[in-house]
Chains A and B, each alone.
Chain A
Amino acid sequence: MSRGPLSLMVGLVVCLGVSLFGENFIASNFAYYYDILITIGINIILATSLNLVNGYTGQFSLGHAGFMAIGAYASGSWSNHLDPVIFGVLGGPTNPLATNVGLFISMFFAGVLAAIAGFAVGVPSLRLKGDYLAIVTLGFGEIIRVAILNTDFLGASRGLSVIGSYTNLFWTFGSVVLCIYVVLGLVHSTYGRGFLTVRDDEVAAEAMGINTTKYKVLAFVVASFFAGVAGALYAHFKAFITPEGFNFFRSVDIVVIVILGGMGSTVGVTVAAVLLTILPEGLRALAHTQFVPPAYQGLLENRLILYSLLLITLMLTRPQGLFGDRTASKKRFVRSRETDG
């Protein structure tokens, strides 16, 4: 097996190991940090998948939360209806095999459904450029949210309770490993250079024989798949979801991570996801220390004000984000010596 898939296998095994031996220990003794850990994982998946579209392919999508919503609601209702069946066959909710199988099927279903939605949205939208694409994807994200809001069997505005399986570290970070593997594996290949050409100069890319629409749609579909998976993980983590949790601000949250990390740098985006998940918690803690006068406490706790200032400052001073000038191009994952791999 060549180096790439081998790393994937190793990564997944490590996650499995940590989960098997450490899960219960961490979950019971460090519950607060456990929650943050899962949230970090979900955010990494969301951000690295969006980075494929916004960063590597240069298409500005503002509707990622919509696909997360599809994944969350699809897997939520799927689990609610099908887990009892699975438990009946494999034996009760206390059987770890049953819960994990249930979760896996649910996640997969969520990803596929979100990917199909990504295709449906992407094909008409991706012919638009820049600002227009942003607005249309925003529009689609909102349409999805409003549709869910008006759908009764999904709980509408009351929200949906998700029973049955629960997310664990293996599925969360296993998905993280898979997502990063897929993104990097795609980009670091001759085929993957195509994404970058679409970002740099579409006209020139077309002139070099690259079907830019195909690349954009592929990036969009792959990203939507993982957004759906992230949504499924989220639904089975919070056990209760509402349409409001997948609104435009959620999409902006993810976009901020991608921009901070540096569009087109998976490493950067991963780091940014960790930072920006921890940051609100850190700020909240800081706000209550003696360093901060009470008048400014509210300001520090208001994530969105800080995010907006962060966005503006970043764009003015360092638009390439933290890791943006380490372009994908400089690393080559395929070396001539690998033919005997």
Chain B
Amino acid sequence: MDRLLEAVQQLINGVSLGSIYALIALGYTMVYGVLRFINFAHGDIYMLGAYSGYLLAPLFAHFFKFGEFDTFTAQNALFILSGAGLIMVLSMAICAVIGVLIERIAYRPLRERPRLNVLITAIGVSLFLQNMTQYRLGADPKAFPQLIPVHVVEGLGTLTVLTSQLAIILATVILLIILRLVVMRTKIGLAMRALSLNPTACSIMGVNNDVVISFTFALGSALAAAAGILVSMDSPSINPLMGNLPGIKAFVAAVLGGIGNIPGAALGGLIIGILETLVIAIGFPQWRDGIAFAVLIVILLFKPAGILGRVEREKV
């Protein structure tokens, strides 16, 4: 029974961690789907999301009483959640705009050029974002304000689940549902899917490719920003380089699930999160970062299309 409980505990930890990776991975996969391009700077959008929250929270701290609540109760839950939700939504909006701007300024002019050029540009953008943040706000870690009270959820017996973990999982589920609705039920979602299959046909059919691409960047950046806020609720120390490792791991997750495949990205994120938690649980915490690289190498060598992906043959 203990073993089972332990397993469930680690599973929850893994799913919580994996949700963060999933949210970031979705941005990679969607952009790759429409542009066949790996946005190296995507991990830094996640970082900017966290910093947006960090800078916005003080503006609303008085009204929403951030940090003044110790526990969730039936009375204050809605109020707390709306406060946190507002910060999250605002951060998502800000990062969506940043994402669109980056695409417009740095990537769009290079659309006809060799793949390599835009990859290098993305590296440049990533470095710029990190170092600019470092320069303006300092390289030292900052304390993320407490948006929701963090304590063990009651009524779960010996299972130690934090409210922040629960928030991460619930928020991710909601966001994934919204994403699914957008991609499957809206016109622009249809355009995104069509664009990932055949860009030329799309523009012939009257789709404004540029608008769809901008929208994709906005969507992906918003999700990454959400991840940044959520992870900061759980682990409140933020720093300008915080996007590097999660960014790489989320990229691996996207490749694992099949790059370009949206459910694949979510699946990949969960798997990586659970694997990483397992590695720590069985006693090798120093290899927690290495496991993602190991997965990457194995996947790329044996099944580059990923779990749910399709192989794209080059036409000869």
Determine direct contact between A and B, CB below 8 Å.
Answer: yes
Interface presence of A24 (CB below 8 A): no
Q: A128-B304, A319-B113 are in contact. Are A311 and B293 (CB under 8 A)?
A: no
Q: A130-B119, A312-B106, A316-B121 are in contact. Are A136 and B135 (CB under 8 A)?
A: no
Inter-subunit contact B119/A131 (CB<8 Å): yes
Closest chain B CB from A297 CB (angstroms): 11
Interface presence of A150 (CB below 8 A): yes
- What number of B residues sit within 8 Å (CB to CB) of A? 39
Closest chain A CB from B108 CB (angstroms): 10
Q: How far is the CA of A106 from the CA of B141 in the complex (A)?
A: 40
Closest chain A CB from B302 CB (angstroms): 10
Which of A11-19, A138-146, A229-237 lies at the binding interface?
Answer: A138-146
Interface presence of A255 (CB below 8 A): yes
Inter-subunit contact A315/B286 (CB<8 Å): no
Q: Which residues of B contact A143 (CB under 8 A)?
A: 290, 293
Q: A259-B120, A315-B117 are in contact. Are A308 and B293 (CB under 8 A)?
A: no
Interface presence of A10 (CB below 8 A): no
Q: Mark A112-128, 1 if CB is under 8 A from B, else 0.
A: 00000000000011001
Q: How far is the CA of A310 from the CA of B125 in the complex (A)?
A: 10
Q: How far is the CA of A146 from the CA of B109 in the complex (A)?
A: 37
Inter-subunit contact B124/A139 (CB<8 Å): no
Q: How far is the CA of A146 from the CA of B287 in the complex (A)?
A: 9
Inter-subunit contact A135/B296 (CB<8 Å): yes
Interface presence of B123 (CB below 8 A): yes
Q: Mark A182-206, 1 if CB is under 8 A from B, else 0.
A: 0000000000000000000001000
Contact of A308 among B131, B300, B301, B304 (CB under 8 A): B131
Q: Mark A297-341, 1 if CB is under 8 A from B, else 0.
A: 011001011011111100110010000000000000000000000
Inter-subunit contact A146/B290 (CB<8 Å): yes
Closest B-chain residue to A127, C-beta based? B301
Contact of A316 among B37, B106, B290, B293 (CB under 8 A): B106
Interface presence of B56 (CB below 8 A): no
Closest chain B CB from A261 CB (angstroms): 13
Q: Which residues of B contact A67 (CB under 8 A)?
A: none
Q: 15 extra interchain contacts, Cβ-Cβ under 8 A, other than A131-B37, A132-B304, A302-B131?
A: A58-B116, A124-B301, A125-B300, A128-B300, A130-B116, A130-B119, A135-B251, A203-B316, A252-B123, A307-B124, A311-B123, A311-B124, A311-B127, A312-B128, A315-B118
CB pairs A–B below 8 angstroms (7 shown): A124-B297, A131-B115, A139-B297, A309-B128, A310-B124, A311-B120, A312-B121
Task: Enumerate chain A interface residues (CB-CB to B < 8 A).
Answer: 58, 60, 124-125, 128, 130-132, 134-136, 138-140, 142-143, 146, 150, 203, 248, 252, 255, 259, 298-299, 302, 304-305, 307-312, 315-316, 319
